[in-house]
Amino acid sequence: MGNNWTTAQMPNQRGTKVVITGASSGIGYETARAFAAKGAEVVFAIRNLDKGAEVARQLKQEYPNAVLKLMKLDLSDLASVRKFAQEYQQTYDSLTLLINNAGVMTPPFQKTKDGFELQFGSNHLGHFALTGLMLPMMSNVPSSRVVTLSSTVINGAEIDFDNLDGSKGYNRVKFYGQSKLANLLFAQELNVRLKASRSNTTSLGSHPGRANTNLFSLGSGKQTGPLMKIVKILLAPQSAEMGALPTLYAATKPTLSGGEYIGPDGKGGNKGYPKIDTSVLKKYDPNMTQQLWDISESLTGISYLS
């Protein structure tokens, strides 16, 4: 069990700079809220700045001393990813934590601006590119961390390297599982490479269990309707606040050394308090992971950490 770890056990985060993708709702918002409460400087890396501004106002009402910044980021557009990294580097001199949280789930078949299938392109390739561009800002920061969110759907998921773009057929659930498996493999492989390069930075993975979030809007970002709200209650027994705990644990627990995967401690990992989940180690295939890494570098044009 995870000893019922909550944000009350989070260390003080003053002096910490944290970038959270998709911070304006769901797991991302609850993650940002916890960091704001602990004194971190929080950058909302988000698509919709108007929505973000409203959320930030609410957060400032709750925590008047919170230091928040909104920055435009569209993970489905590599030009936007590059622009975000450039603007961050022009504004800040370092980064302590990068939380790769944002994602779209099971939308109809769509492609990103760069021609990638939307889920693989946004959930994995966008974060792969972002991380590669942001790592230089983290290299001189002791105990800096990258936390990448995966999902329980990786059970049974596989990566179809012959059909990453969906041109040979598209199943929205399978492609979501593929993108989240890629997230997990990326988090693990990144940590291997960081250790090999003797970096100060570590990489960890996390998943929220079955949490009630706006992922059920199928990538639209819109509020869900009455029927879908009922479905959310039935399929997602965990609140977004509880669902954020594994990510917060992965980002701040001092005893973690990198490479860990954190999820809820309840049955099936669906809900509960955070714990280290070792069941996913069997998912790590060095050959498949190397292939994923090479393809990701080729598609994004981002090369880092040999």
Query: What CA–CA distances, in Å, run from 51 to 78, 121, 122, 267?
Result: 22, 23, 20, 35
Q: What is the C-alpha to C-alpha distance for residues 29 and 241, in angstroms, rounded to an integer?
A: 9
Residue 270 tokens, joined: 């669906």
Is position 261 annotated as part of the catalytic site?
Answer: no
b/e map of 69-103 (b: 16 or more CB within 10 Å)? Answer: bbbebbbbbbebbbebbeebeeeeeebbbbbbbbb
Q: What is the C-alpha to C-alpha distance for residues 78 and 116, in angstroms, rounded to an integer?
A: 11
Q: What is the DSSP letter of 68?
A: E
> DSSP secondary structure string, 95-120?
-SEEEE-----SPSS-B-TTS-BHHI
> DSSP secondary structure string, 32-61?
HHHHHHTT-EEEEEES-HHHHHHHHHHHHH
Q: What is the C-alpha to C-alpha distance for residues 77 and 144, in angstroms, rounded to an integer?
A: 26
Residue 63 corresponds to which amino acid? Y
Cα 173 → chain centroid: 19
If one counts every other C-beta atom within 10 angstroms of the C-beta of residue 237, the result is 15
Question: Of 63, 170, 273, 284, which residue is the catalytic one?
Answer: 170
Q: What is the DSSP letter of 190?
A: H
Query: What CA–CA distances, in Å, run from 195 to 81, 129, 253, 258, 297?
Result: 25, 20, 18, 9, 19
Catalytic residues: 170
